[in-house]
Amino acid sequence: MSEQPHYRRPGWFTRNVANRLVAGLTSLGISVMGSRVLEVRGRKSGLPRQVPVNLLSLDGSEYLVSARGNGEWVRNVRAADGALVLLLGKRRQPRVATEVPDVDKVPILRAYLKRWKAEVGAFFDGVSADSTDEQIAAIAAKHPVFLLAPAA
């Protein structure tokens, strides 16, 4: 039996209240702590799919981190060869996402946890921004990270 990819499905409140509230504010041009709406082509339907995400800016680069693991948006970004759009209000920012190897994730995950631990800490198995590099590296494979670049 093969091991299932790590993913923690959002609960009712997250799906029906929190995500809708953040997406609604973001669509009005109000970013909640760096929030954006990620738009990516669905890998099965081919239709645009939207989900609110936390955009992490670190050392002049932008990253998307999946706190919940290999969820729908992660699989759609992979299937779309990294092509996505970040939305904030009426602004559309085409981006190309490149997946970051596990060995390079520690400083990115540390910064992500420092910024959003209260919101996403439950998905990191007790690891926090104050954890050792080894502890963060041990959970890195469970959390896809994408480096974003402007689309050509």
Q: Where are the alpha helices (DSSP H) in the chain?
A: 12-13, 19-27, 72-79, 106-120, 133-139
Domain hosting residue 44, numbered range: 31-150
Q: What is the pLDDT of residue 144?
A: 97
Judge whether 97 lies within some domain: yes
Task: Compute mean pLDDT per 10 residues along the chain, 152 residues long, and list them.
Answer: 52 58 67 82 95 94 95 96 95 97 98 90 91 97 97 88
Q: What is the pLDDT of residue 121?
A: 83
The number of domains in the chain is 1
Q: What is the pLDDT of residue 3?
A: 42
Judge whether 145 lies within some domain: yes
Q: What is the pLDDT of residue 152?
A: 82
Judge whether 60 lies within some domain: yes
SS3 at position 113: helix
Judge whether 25 lies within some domain: no
d(CA 32, CA 95): 20
Judge whether 35 lies within some domain: yes
Tokens coding 91:
């602004």
Judge whether 8 lies within some domain: no
Domain at 125, CATH number: 2.30.110.10
Judge whether 84 lies within some domain: yes
Judge whether 2 lies within some domain: no
